[in-house]
Amino acid sequence: MAPALRWGLGALALAALLAVPFVVTQPYPRHVFISIFLYATLAQAWNLLAGYCGQISLGHAVFFGTGAYTSSVLGKELGLTPWAGMVAGVALAVALSQLIGYPVFRLRGHYLAIATIAVGEIVQTLMLNWDWVGAARGFFVPIKRPDSFVNFQFHQSKQTYYYIALGLLLLALGVARRIERSRTGFYFRAIREDQDAAASLGIPVAAYKQRAMAWSAGLTAMGGTFYAQYILFIDPESVFPLSLSILICLVAVLGGVGTLWGPLVGAAILVPLSEGTRIYFGGTGKAIDLLIFGALIMLISVVQPGGIMALAQRGRRRTG
């Protein structure tokens, strides 16, 4: 596809997305869009570490929860605007990620994956028992009226939330694209493909893994702050669970790990699917959609580990 055509289509898509809230005015459909953007952002962040750099983390909710709690607690205790809280959340998440990465990145493959699960479980358990932030009861973000950008709360409509979520997604996509084409991106992928060969070419492997981890954790934390300000209630069950870590991975894996558009594609399919099954199957909806997810994950891993993007590539190569 010619670059000019690609830019044109991209601009058109962006314009369409920007126009959506004017066409879609009901809160629920807007919520679906916001969910898609949020999950796509989280998956894109995870993708940086796992897709490009090959380090499989199954405990990424840790950073999501860190972002959510940091901005919320700072907002409540110090009256800090959630935007500053978001920055603090990012800083804390990045610091935490480096701390975790230091021992954990000595591991590879399955051992690494299990270690990340262990870390995730430890953090969630600790948060469930930390009274100062509400422990298992959770944390209500103090409601501030009227709607204000500074306070990052909008009660009249979801429109501003929509644009912020879209902005986050564009940021994540931008970061990924920038990294993809740079030396950092090449080094990430070299590490993914063969760590030893990468080292033999002068790549300080541990340092670059930590770099990927930092970008990944920071973006994920931003998503956490957004979530806290959107839902206005957080608890360890909703922002730290293993199931969230898995869902983030699934979105990226379904769409295409290690690709730029995979996470968005994955979110665009999974979020409506999840909402749909919940509506359709009512009470047991939770189990049914997970049932489908489980089957989907198995299917992808067997048939096309590269996800939908890889399927699209195959199709294109056959016709093109």
Partner 1 sequence: MTLEVLLQGLIGGLLMGFVYALIAAGLSLIFGLMEIVNFAHGEFLMLAMFATFWAWALAGLDPLLSLPLTAALLFLLGIAVYHGLIRWILGAPMLAQIFATFGLAVFLRSAAQALWGVDFRLVKDPLVSGRISLGGLFIGLPQLVASVGALAAFAFLYWLIRKTETGRALQATAQDRQAAALMGIDTQWMFALGWGIGAACVGVAGGLLTIFFYVFPDVGASFALLAYVAVALGGFGNVPGTLAAGVVVGVVEVMSGLLIAPTLKYVTVFLIYLAVVLWRPQGLFGRF
Partner 2 sequence: MSAPPLLEVRGLTKRFGGVTANREVSFRVAPGELVGIIGPNGAGKSTLFDLLTGFLRADAGTVALDGRDITGLRPDMVSRRGVGRTFQKLKPFTGLTVLENVMVGAFQKTTDPREAQEQARAALASVGLGGKEDAHARVLSTGQRKRLELARALATKPRLLLLDEVTGGVDQGSIPGLVELVRGVHAEGMALLVIEHNMRVIMDISQRIVALHLGEVIGDGPPEAMARDARVIEAYLGRAYTREAPERPGA
Binding partner of residue 305 among partner 2, partner 1, none, CB cut-off 5 to 8 Å per kind? partner 1
Choices 25-33, 108-116, 190-198, 296-304 (CB under 8 A): range interacting with partner 2: 190-198
Give which of 252, 247, 256 is closest to 294, Cα–Cα: 247
140 φ, ψ (degrees, to nearest 5)? -90, 125
Residue type, 102: Y
Q: Running DSSP on this structure, what letter comes out for residue 93?
A: H
Give the interface size with partner 2 as a residue count (CB under 8 A).
21
> Which structure tokens are listed for 49?
């570490």
CA distances from 126 to 119, 129, 136 (A): 11, 5, 10
- Does 311 bind partner 1 (CB under 8 A)? Our answer is no
CA distance linking residue 138 with residue 123, whole number of Å:
15
Binding partner of residue 288 among partner 2, partner 1, none, CB cut-off 5 to 8 Å per kind? partner 1
Choices 159-167, 179-187, 239-247, 259-267 (CB under 8 A): range interacting with partner 2: 179-187
Total count of residues recorded for the chain: 320
- Does 300 bind partner 1 (CB under 8 A)? Our answer is yes
Choices 106-114, 138-146, 200-208, 266-274 (CB under 8 A): range interacting with partner 2: 200-208
CA distance linking residue 46 with residue 216, whole number of Å:
6
Interacting positions 61-120 with partner 1 (CB under 8 A)? 103-104, 106-107, 109-111, 113-115, 117-119
- Does 174 bind partner 1 (CB under 8 A)? Our answer is no
Nearer to partner 2, 199 or 232 (CB): 199
- Does 197 bind partner 2 (CB under 8 A)? Our answer is yes
CA distance linking residue 312 with residue 299, whole number of Å:
16
Choices 66-74, 78-86, 122-130, 165-173 (CB under 8 A): range interacting with partner 1: 122-130
Provide the strand spans (E) within 113-230. 139-140
